[in-house]
Amino acid sequence: MIISGSASTSLAASLSSHSKIPLGKTTHQFFPDGEFIIQTNFQGDHGIIVAATRSASDHLELLQLQDAVREAGATNITTILPYMGYARQDTVFESGQPLSARAMARSIGTGTDKVIIVNPHKNIVCDYFGVPAIALDASSILAQTLPFDLENPLFLAPDSGAISLAESIRDSYGGGDIDYFEKKRISSTEVHISPNTVDVTGRDVICVDDIISTGTTTSKSASILRDRGAKKIFVTCIHAILVAGARKMLFDSGIDAIYTTDTIATPETKVSVAPLLAKIL
């Protein structure tokens, strides 16, 4: 049976439909002190929990879901993290700080037999759970979101870390060039983009990234592309966090559209990772 966290209800329903595995129900009871307890109707041996941990509350809910499913008799639990919060903190940045991705992964790993994460920022996070964990690359499906008649398309990564993502989308799209800018992060809301000399005049450009959070990285890149005469600028990413103000910043920078998956459900979600997940269950 599939059990869903609050942030992944549509994806869990879609996964149930693609995999023909029944979807259970979950309710929440809230207490005056702010705590909550979940209640599921889980039955069976194999529990598949689908829960993006976008917030601390999502994370706590996931730990409860795992425990409830185990209590209800599951002998095998697979935890699917469509988006794993804190995964970008995948190293100790400064002395005295935690390796947060490992701390979160360890807590999730204690309640499950296996983990599937969709496009973690870096695959190293899979080593932190203490149980088998695999990263599912959903980049190829982003090509389905793009207009079929792109003009001389250029798939642009805002930094070298996103080049393989851009290549995967370009290959699935069926053609186009790849290029990338250099990015230096100054703070969580400031980046410096060093553009190369690529000529985008009259071309459609697809800005590709794994995550868009504040929108700073992509909007800085888009402004450069707009100034250089790009025809249309489409933005595509796996995980659209899109914090408050991100959409305005992106559209103010001159982008034409944002296309993303349902790892985090947003109005920009155009394609589901459910068929890919169903294949590997």
Catalytic residue set: 183
Burial of 57 (0-12, 13-18, 19+ CB in 10 A): middle
253 binds ligand R5P (CB under 6 A): no
Which residue in the set 2, 141, 215, 233 belongs to the binding site for ligand R5P (CB under 6 A)? 215
Are the CB atoms for 101 and 135 separated by under 8 Å?
A: no
Minimum separation from the CB atom of position 137 to ligand R5P (A) = 14
213 binds ligand R5P (CB under 6 A): yes
Alpha-carbon distance of 102 to 91, in angstroms, equals 9
User: Of 191-210, which residues contact ligand R5P (CB under 6 A)?
Assistant: 191, 209-210
Q: Lay out the site mask for ligand R5P across 149-178 (x = CB under 6 A, - = otherwise).
A: ---------x--xx----------------
221 binds ligand R5P (CB under 6 A): no
User: Of 1-20, which residues contact ligand R5P (CB under 6 A)?
Assistant: none
Residue 204 or 210 with smaller CB distance to ligand R5P: 210
Residue 66 or 214 with smaller CB distance to ligand R5P: 214
Q: Which stretches within 29-99 are classed as H helix?
A: 56-71
Minimum separation from the CB atom of position 158 to ligand R5P (A) = 6
Alpha-carbon distance of 191 to 172, in angstroms, equals 29
Which residue in the set 1, 51, 77, 212 belongs to the binding site for ligand R5P (CB under 6 A)? 212
Helices (H) and strands (E) in the chain, counts: 7, 15
Strand ranges in the chain using DSSP code E only, listed in sequence order: 2-4, 26-30, 36-40, 46-50, 76-81, 114-118, 133-136, 154-157, 177-180, 182-187, 190-194, 204-212, 232-240, 257-261, 269-271
Q: What is the DSSP letter of 82?
A: S
Minimum separation from the CB atom of position 224 to ligand R5P (A) = 14
Alpha-carbon distance of 217 to 247, in angstroms, equals 12
268 binds ligand R5P (CB under 6 A): no
Binding site for ligand R5P (CB under 6 A): 158, 161-162, 191, 209-217
